[in-house]
């Protein structure tokens, strides 16, 4: 098993600090979900992990060796970036097949037959210019590059953002198929959480340039609860726990609890329900809660 | 097969329960092969590790067993083991809920018993 690790990463753009002392560990052979709001630092973190962007401070290593300008380490990593239909010099006039040829030259383990299969599946006209592609087509091309790269560690940044519901389902199935067959590592960033949550073995939550959690998804959710009932009863039952996003409706109160370990019982006076990853994430981000005492 | 997995329970538990339900309903018979981890994960779009966890729980409960190199099969006697376990949990999972709801709306024990006696379902 390999480990891609970022240690104490700080990234500043001018006076703005985009990543504040971030440390992450990516173990190979797992599917990771990187979730965070727009502007939370997802893309910056991914581009730094893959040495496409230098960190202001901190170190990125693959199996202990720095990845920066290290061709051997980087040959195991694919970061399929969002493709821009415009460049600094005007419309991106590159044809899809030229873009794919560049990727083919770049990735050592490129699987041409697989790429062709995916082009057909997503119905891409490779003679088209990048500037003429729809949002969905652009997303599909980045997915094709990511999958056909056959890189050990493959990073997809918001891969489903432009896709319609049919293509999104196809994408999730492709990832599971490829992962089941090869055990490649995937890191998928998204803010469309609900439909992708069950795909992630581990989840990394980033908010405002800081990593809030990195945990096994299932274990993480097993410690989260939505506790509701009479205000006094809820306050009593959740005393001492870390709570997020309390809401009141008349004498009723609802809070999201994130405990350190699964809780056997909150007592008979309150209603307890599980929380989905999306709702937990939401509760954390609108946080008006209190720290554990 | 469920159309969708819910959110009220861990996914691996739902996978396990769904397979148990199919054994109880006779959709899966004893000594019959169950869908593979990969098939389950593709169908439900879940991580294969999660699907495997659901299957493994049933192996621990002696509901399924592994034939090396072939896959998972329903054990002989699985159905009666599932029934036995569910009977044990029946009071906590179902009866308690009925009593709580009955109390809330003022149905007394007598009335509740009569409802069960008169029920056409039983």
**CATH code at B16?**
1.10.10.10
Please indicate, yes or no, if residue B5 is contained in any of the structural domains. no
Q: DSSP characters for A106-132? A: H-TT--HHHHHHHHHHTT--TTSBGGG
- Answer for the pair A6, A49: CB distance below 8 angstroms, yes or no: yes
A201 touches chain B (CB under 8 A): yes
Round to whole Å and give the CA distance between A19 and A293. 28
Contact B50 A201 (CB under 8 A): yes
Q: Which candidate from B9, B47, B53 shows the least CB-CB separation from A31?
A: B47
Please indicate, yes or no, if residue B2 is contained in any of the structural domains. no
Domain shared by B62 and B20, yes or no: yes
What is the model's pLDDT at position B73? 97
Q: Which chain A residues are within 8 Å of B8, Cβ to Cβ?
A: 273-274
Domain shared by B94 and B58, yes or no: no
Domain shared by B108 and B61, yes or no: no
Please provide the average confidence, as pLDDT, over all residues in chain B: 90
Q: What is the mean pLDDT of residues A7-32?
A: 94
A180 touches chain B (CB under 8 A): yes
Q: How confident is the model at residue A252 (pLDDT cuts 50, 70, 90)?
A: very high
Q: Which of A198, A223, A271 to mutate to test the interface with B (most CBs of B within 10 A)?
A: A198
Round to whole Å and give the CA distance between A224 and A65. 37
Domain shared by B58 and B109, yes or no: no
Domain shared by B22 and B72, yes or no: yes
3-class DSSP state for residue A157?
strand
A262 touches chain B (CB under 8 A): no
Q: A178, A177, A4: which is closest to A76 by C-alpha?
A: A4
Which residues does B6 contact at the CB level (< 8 Å), separation at least 6? B14
Contact A173 B42 (CB under 8 A): yes
Q: What is the mean pLDDT of residues B79-91?
A: 94
Domain shared by B47 and B84, yes or no: no
* % of residues, chain A, pLDDT over 90: 75
What is the model's pLDDT at position B55? 96
Domain count of chain B? Answer: 2
Domain shared by B89 and B65, yes or no: no
Pairing of strands A252-258, A224-230: antiparallel
Please indicate, yes or no, if residue B93 is contained in any of the structural domains. yes
Neighbours of B117 (CB within 10 A): 8
Tell me the per-residue pLDDT of A192-232, one tens digit each, with 9 for 90 and over: 898 899 999 999 999 999 999 999 999 999 999 999 999 99
Count of residues for chain A? 293
Q: How confident is the model at residue A287 (pLDDT cuts 50, 70, 90)?
A: low
Round to whole Å and give the CA distance between A108 and A85. 26
Please indicate, yes or no, if residue B106 is contained in any of the structural domains. yes
A276 touches chain B (CB under 8 A): yes
- Cα A4 to chain centroid distance, Å, stands at 15
Round to whole Å and give the CA distance between A73 and B38. 30
Q: What is the mean pLDDT of residues A251-277?
A: 92
Please indicate, yes or no, if residue B3 is contained in any of the structural domains. no
| Paired tokens of B26 | 């006779």
Q: What is the mean pLDDT of residues A80-90?
A: 82
Q: Which chain B residues are within 8 Å of A176, Cβ to Cβ?
A: 38, 41-42, 45-48
Domain shared by B66 and B84, yes or no: no
Neighbours of B34 (CB within 10 A): 19
What is the model's pLDDT at position A154? 96
Q: What is the largest CA-CA distance in chain B?
A: 58
Domain shared by B72 and B105, yes or no: no
Examine the pLDDT at A66 and tell me if it is beyond 70. yes
- Answer for the pair A40, A208: CB distance below 8 angstroms, yes or no: yes
- From chain B residues 34-73, the ones with a CB under 8 A of any chain A CB are 37-38, 41-42, 44-50, 53
What is the model's pLDDT at position A293? 41
CA distance A71 to chain B (A): 31
CA distance A235 to chain B (A): 23
A27 touches chain B (CB under 8 A): no
Give me the sign of the Cα torsion angle A23, A240, A258, A288: negative
The DSSP code for A199 is: G
Tell me the per-residue pLDDT of B26-83, one tens digit each, with 9 for 90 and over: 999 999 999 999 999 998 899 999 999 999 999 999 999 999 999 999 999 999 999 9
Give me the sign of the Cα torsion angle A33, A5, A147, A136: positive
Contact A274 B9 (CB under 8 A): yes
Domain shared by B90 and B105, yes or no: yes
CA count, 13 A, side-chain hemisphere, B45: 16
Q: Which candidate from A173, A222, A276 shows the least CB-CB separation from B45?
A: A173
What is the model's pLDDT at position A292? 45
pTM, full prediction? 0.86
Examine the pLDDT at B97 and tell me if it is beyond 80. yes
Q: What is the mean pLDDT of residues A39-54?
A: 91
Please indicate, yes or no, if residue B1 is contained in any of the structural domains. no
The DSSP code for A197 is: G
Round to whole Å and give the CA distance between A228 and A234. 6
3-class DSSP state for residue A140?
helix
Which residues does B27 contact at the CB level (< 8 Å), separation at least 6? none
**Cβ–Cβ pairs < 8 A, chains A and B:** 50
CA distance B122 to chain A (A): 30
Domain that includes residue B85, residue range: 79-118
The DSSP code for A84 is: P
| Paired tokens of B68 | 């090396």
| Paired tokens of A222 | 């097993």
Examine the pLDDT at A34 and tell me if it is beyond 90. yes
Pairing of strands A224-230, A242-249: unpaired
Round to whole Å and give the CA distance between A38 and A20. 16
Examine the pLDDT at A267 and tell me if it is beyond 80. yes
- Answer for the pair B67, B59: CB distance below 8 angstroms, yes or no: no
Domain shared by B56 and B69, yes or no: yes
- Answer for the pair A210, A40: CB distance below 8 angstroms, yes or no: no
Neighbours of A63 (CB within 10 A): 13
Q: Which candidate from B8, B37, B50 shows the least CB-CB separation from A198?
A: B50
What is the model's pLDDT at position A72? 82
Contact A198 B12 (CB under 8 A): no
Q: How confident is the model at residue A73 (pLDDT cuts 50, 70, 90)?
A: confident
Tell me the per-residue pLDDT of A107-120, one tens digit each, with 9 for 90 and over: 999 999 999 999 99
Contact B9 A169 (CB under 8 A): no
* % of residues, chain A, pLDDT over 70: 97
- Cα B37 to chain centroid distance, Å, stands at 17
Round to whole Å and give the CA distance between A225 and A275. 6
Q: A127, A277, A133: which is closest to A192 by C-alpha?
A: A277
Give me the sign of the Cα torsion angle A209, A210, A212, A214: positive
Please indicate, yes or no, if residue B66 is contained in any of the structural domains. yes
Domain shared by B72 and B102, yes or no: no
Q: What is the mean pLDDT of residues A163-183?
A: 93
Instruction: Calculate the alpha carbon distances from A6 to A143, B45, B66 in Å.
Output: 24, 29, 40
What is the model's pLDDT at position B7? 66
B5 touches chain A (CB under 8 A): yes
What is the model's pLDDT at position A161? 85
Please indicate, yes or no, if residue B4 is contained in any of the structural domains. no
């Amino acid at each position: 098993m390999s480990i891609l690790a970022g240690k104490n990463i700080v990234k500043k753009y001018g006076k703005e600090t985009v990543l504040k002392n971030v440390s992450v560990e990516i173990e190979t052979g797992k599917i990771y979900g990187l979730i965070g709001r727009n502007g939370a630092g997802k893309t910056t973190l991914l581009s730094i992990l893959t040495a496409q962007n230098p960190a202001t401070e901190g170190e990125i290593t693959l199996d202990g060796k720095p990845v920066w300008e290290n061709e051997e380490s980087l040959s195991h990593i694919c970061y399929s970036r969002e493709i821009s239909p415009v460049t600094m010099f005007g419309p991106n006039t590159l044809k899809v097949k030229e873009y794919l040829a560049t990727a083919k030259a770049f990735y050592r383990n490129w699987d041409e037959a697989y790429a062709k299969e995916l082009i057909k599946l997503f119905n891409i006209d490779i003679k088209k210019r990048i500037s003429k592609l729809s949002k969905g087509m652009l997303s599909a091309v980045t997915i094709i590059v990511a999958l056909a790269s056959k890189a050990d560690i493959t990073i997809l940044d918001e891969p489903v953002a432009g896709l319609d519901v049919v293509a999104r389902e196809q994408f999730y199935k492709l990832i599971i198929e490829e992962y089941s067959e090869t055990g490649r590592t995937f890191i998928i960033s998204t803010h469309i959480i609900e439909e992708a949550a069950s795909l992630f073995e581990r989840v990394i939550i980033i908010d405002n340039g800081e990593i809030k959690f990195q945990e096994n998804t299932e274990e993480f959710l097993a410690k989260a609860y939505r506790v509701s009932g009479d205000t006094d009863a809820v306050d009593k039952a959740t005393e001492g726990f870390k709570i997020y996003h309390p809401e009141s409706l008349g004498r009723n109160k609802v809070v999201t609890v994130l405990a350190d370990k699964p809780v056997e019982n909150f007592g008979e006076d309150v209603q307890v329900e599980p929380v989905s990853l999306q709702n937990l994430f939401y509760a954390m981000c609108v946080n008006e809660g209190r720290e554990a005492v | 097969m469920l159309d969708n997995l819910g959110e009220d329970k861990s996914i691996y538990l739902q996978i396990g329960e769904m397979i148990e339900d199919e054994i109880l309903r006779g959709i899966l018979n004893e000594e019959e092969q169950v869908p593979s981890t990969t098939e389950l994960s593709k169908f439900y779009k879940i991580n294969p590790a999660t699907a495997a966890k659901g299957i493994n729980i049933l192996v621990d409960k002696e509901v399924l067993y592994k034939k090396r190199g072939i896959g998972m099969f329903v054990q002989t006697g699985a159905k009666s083991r599932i029934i036995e376990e569910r009977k044990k949990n029946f009071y906590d999972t179902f009866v308690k809920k009925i009593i709580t709801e009955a109390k809330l709306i003022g149905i007394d024990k007598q009335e509740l018993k009569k409802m069960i006696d008169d029920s056409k379902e039983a």
